[in-house]
Amino acid sequence: MAEGKVKALQSSKFWFMEARKSIPGGVNSPVRAFQAVGGEPFFVKRAYGSKIVDVEDHEYIDFVGSYGPLILGHAHPAIVRAIQEQVTHGTSYGAPTPLEVELANLVKTAMPSIDLVRFVNSGTEATMSAVRVARAFTKRKKILKFEGCYHGHGDSFLSKAGSGLATLGISASPGVPEEVAALTLNVPYNNLDAVRKIFEKEGKEIAAVIVEPIPANMGVILPHGAFLSGLREVTREYEALLIFDEVISGFRLAPGGAQEFVGVRPDLTTLGKIIGGGLPVGAYGGRSDVMSLVAPLGPVYQAGTLSGNPLAMRAGIEMLRQLQMPGFHKSLDETTHRFVEALRITVKRRNWPITINHIGSMLTVFFTGKPVIDYASAKTSDTKAYAKFFHEMLRRGIFIAPSQFEAMFISSAHTINDLSKTADAAEQILEKMY
């Protein structure tokens, strides 16, 4: 009996049951609950490198990577050391530190569009604050976003959004006043005509266009040739600001983010995920005339008890230093490319109804034969097939996101062996499915 009880205490099932008694749905972020794929989540005991281990000691090759931050894998020795060193000196001061200056300088060097940068605690805070500043600067109220893009859970962004909202089929969240929602305009991604049309009608009221330059929250989508430069032209013409939400793409695609990759310079940029080295961080920054409005330099209020947190700053500094190693992105991208090509060749040979979108070290396997270029086409995916694929992968020790509308992230900790095992498993599973 005692043994039975010990076993129960070690099971994910037990912890999920306990969690649901005290946490809504048992999780602190909705997608984690596995609702879209069915079944119950595993509870994590520890993680290292490319592996994540549950409380029952099952080990998985992890392609979720905490939804983006872990480009070096779990518990990278340099990051662990940096955090360990810092923690002995205290965890929060409520006073400025040289660490914040150092990280700000690393960000500015990586992204020349940023003159001034403010650190916050999450991507959500970064986008909310960026929009506030944009509204203050332009003295306009409306913002334009794209269907299926995700900008965190601020009230203004919870319409036709990606990530967990796409996963759960929530198109607008109760609790957001209609008056607030009405200030957010949505058009399809990659559709410059729709952008121009809406600007012709309401351009004088639009404070900013906010966009994931490379969307990854409706699965990975690639921008068409002139889409992002077109956004730059339209916003300039109407004197609205262009905000690149690089919470995922920043430092993942290139040291200078998607803006370096595509050669378009936004007015404001939001960051998160990777710049925290796995600790909670966000940042927003950009043109000095706009960012000068932020308090205490200007009148736009934005603050944070734990902002610029020394542990997070220290982890972020170490992360960015690691990414500056010569050839880091090139090597990671090449590894990913080989993995994706192997999958693509198999899919093509068998004529399976699957589309793989890929850029840098992120990809999405969409269960549709049609090209996926926006939210509407992403939604043609067979999410039941995805759910089956997800569970079969999990059974073989491979963890991908429990939702069709997320990216698969490759880290520098993934070995060739991890990737070939994953490609083989995918082939076997799809063989059985089709």
Residue 204 annotated in active site: no
191 binds ligand PLP (CB under 6 A): no
d(C-alpha 341, C-alpha 345), whole Å: 6
CB 213 within 8 A of CB 264: yes
What single-letter amino acid sits at 78? Answer: A
Residue 150 annotated in active site: yes
Structure token digits, residue 260: 């370096």
Residue 273 annotated in active site: yes
CB 362 within 8 A of CB 71: no
150 binds ligand PLP (CB under 6 A): yes
Residue of 245, 333, 374, 418 marked active site: 245
Q: List Cα–Cα distances, 34 to 37, 49, 111, 122, 391, in angstroms.
A: 5, 23, 36, 23, 10
151 binds ligand PLP (CB under 6 A): yes
User: Cβ closer to ligand PLP: 122 or 383?
Assistant: 122
Q: Within 121-140, which residues bind ligand PLP (CB under 6 A)?
A: 122-124, 127
Structure token digits, residue 190: 């990659």
Rounded least distance, CB 280 to ligand PLP, Å: 7
Angle in degrees, CA 13, 19, 21, rounded to 5: 115
User: Cβ closer to ligand PLP: 218 or 240?
Assistant: 218
One residue of 49, 230, 250, 272 binding ligand PLP per CB under 6 A:
272
Contacts (Cβ under 8 Å, ≥6 apart) of 131 = 143, 154, 156, 207, 208, 210, 243
Rounded least distance, CB 150 to ligand PLP, Å: 5
User: Cβ closer to ligand PLP: 151 or 358?
Assistant: 151
Q: Which of 39, 20, 8, 7 is nearest to 399 (CA)?
A: 39
Binders of ligand PLP: how many residues, by CB under 6 A? 14
d(C-alpha 160, C-alpha 374), whole Å: 12
408 binds ligand PLP (CB under 6 A): no
Is the peptide bond between 77 and the residue preceding it cis, with omega within 30 degrees of 0? Answer: no
Rounded least distance, CB 164 to ligand PLP, Å: 10
Rounded least distance, CB 252 to ligand PLP, Å: 10
Binding string, 233-252, against ligand PLP, x = CB under 6 A? ------------x-xx----
User: Cβ closer to ligand PLP: 124 or 381?
Assistant: 124
Residue of 142, 273, 379, 388 marked active site: 273
Contacts (Cβ under 8 Å, ≥6 apart) of 254 = 260, 261, 329, 360
User: Cβ closer to ligand PLP: 100 or 245?
Assistant: 245
User: Cβ closer to ligand PLP: 313 or 343?
Assistant: 313
User: Cβ closer to ligand PLP: 214 or 423?
Assistant: 214
CB 160 within 8 A of CB 171: yes
d(C-alpha 297, C-alpha 419), whole Å: 49
| Dihedrals phi, psi of 124, to nearest 5 degrees | -60, -45
Rounded least distance, CB 268 to ligand PLP, Å: 13
Rounded least distance, CB 221 to ligand PLP, Å: 12
Rounded least distance, CB 123 to ligand PLP, Å: 2
Secondary structure class of 129 (helix, strand, coil): helix
CB 130 within 8 A of CB 284: yes
Q: Within 24-83, which residues bind ligand PLP (CB under 6 A)?
A: none
Q: Where do the H-state alpha helices sit in 139-256?
A: 164-168, 178-181, 192-202, 227-237
Structure token digits, residue 358: 């890929």
One residue of 54, 100, 147, 212 binding ligand PLP per CB under 6 A:
212
- Stretch binding ligand PLP (CB under 6 A), from 70-78, 118-126, 181-189, 391-399: 118-126
User: Cβ closer to ligand PLP: 86 or 121?
Assistant: 121
Residue nearest to ligand PLP (CB): 123
Q: What is the CA radius of gyration of the chain?
A: 21
Q: Which residues are catalytic?
A: 150, 245, 273
- Return residues touching ligand PLP (CB under 6 A): 122-124, 127, 150-152, 212, 217, 245, 247-248, 272, 282
